[in-house]
Amino acid sequence: MAQKLDGKLVAAAIKDDLRLRVARLRQTGVEPGLGTILVGDDVGSRKYVAGKHADCAEVGIRSIAVELPGSASRAEILEQMERLNSDSSCTGYIVQLPLPKGVDSNAVIERINPSKDADGMHPYNLGELVLHIDGGDSSPQPCTPRGIITLLSHYNIDLSGKEVCVLGRGITVGRTIGLMLAARGVDATVTLCHTGTRDVHELMRRADVVIAAMGSAGFVKPEDVKPGAVLVDVGVSRVYDEEAGRYRVKGDIDLGCREVCSAYTPNPGGVGPMTRAMLLTNVVEMAERRMNAANDLAV
């Protein structure tokens, strides 16, 4: 029987550790704070941001919520970002995507102070990820790739020398996880596949690990999976269930693949909770770096 890689269980253990670290920080007078900027009334975004603030409450991180109407201009969004950039109570923050049409998301993300980039997606921090193949970089790391690697490590899945097939070239997972998997100490061999990849099904069948982040429901079928492979399902699609009469969340990997693989992440309940736990981890690490820098100056 394939092993379930339970992201909820591992995320709960991470939160327990973070709770202790936050308590220690508070004893030194440092209180971590996570800021969020939500623009518009997208139901999914609103729910996701609310979940992040609930996570903060669990571990003792201060929440700083900024909400703007969907009609907000780029200038109005940047004004709130500058406020958080200069707010000493805000350790790190995110700008929730998607932004309204006509607002360049990349241009907005570039205005985040890199040292407050809780998502680890600022161009400076991504550049640091490219430069430091030894994994020695102390910049915040992208949350979803970090969550995936942490989850696999928790279950003692050794990636060294393994062939990893990544489906999807989005910046959130596809283009960033390859850098982290190829870093020394992980040492996987990564193939990045996308809509222009020839023989994608053959590449999947050859892989020891398949990480699916396409947003194409049930794309990976049992016949695409090498017996004993590890499957990581990141993609999320809302598919209408005729029998239930409502929409359901469905991942990129068909449930039948669990009969072939050795381990899998459920979706939901696998990568999602780990992504949120890594966001909290980034914020706590930022606060710890601030505390250590202050201590160094005091010596």
Q: 261-282: string of b/e by CB count within 10 Å (b at 16+)?
A: bbbbbbbeebbbbbbbbbbbbb
Q: Which of 6, 15, 55, 96 is catalytic?
A: 96
Angle, CA of 265, 51 and 150, to the nearest 5°: 35
Please check if 168 is assigned to a binding site.
Answer: yes
Is position 141 annotated as part of the catalytic site? no
Q: Among all chains, which residue has been given the structure tokens 């005729």?
A: 242
The tally of CA atoms less than 13 A away on the side-chain side of residue 10 is 26
Please check if 236 is assigned to a binding site.
Answer: yes
Measure the CA–CA gap between 272 and 4, rounded to whole angstroms: 14
Residue 257 and residue 222 in contact, taking contact as beta carbons nearer than 8 Å = yes
Q: Which of 119, 224, 252, 254 is catalytic?
A: 119
Measure the CA–CA gap between 231 and 249, rounded to whole angstroms: 18
Is position 226 annotated as part of the catalytic site? no
Is position 187 annotated as part of the catalytic site? no
Report CA dihedral (19, 7, 278, 234) to the nearest 10 degrees. Answer: -160
CB-based burial of residue 188 (10 Å sphere; 0-12 exposed, 13-18 middle, 19+ buried)? buried
Q: 136-153: string of b/e by CB count within 10 Å (b at 16+)?
A: ebebbbbbbbbbbbbbbe
Other beta carbons less than 10 A from residue 207's beta carbon:
25
Residue 194 and residue 174 in contact, taking contact as beta carbons nearer than 8 Å = yes
- Rg of the chain over Cα atoms, rounded to whole angstroms, equals 20
Q: Which of 15, 52, 116, 250 is catalytic?
A: 52
Instruction: State the binding site.
Output: 168-170, 236
Active site residues: 52, 96, 119
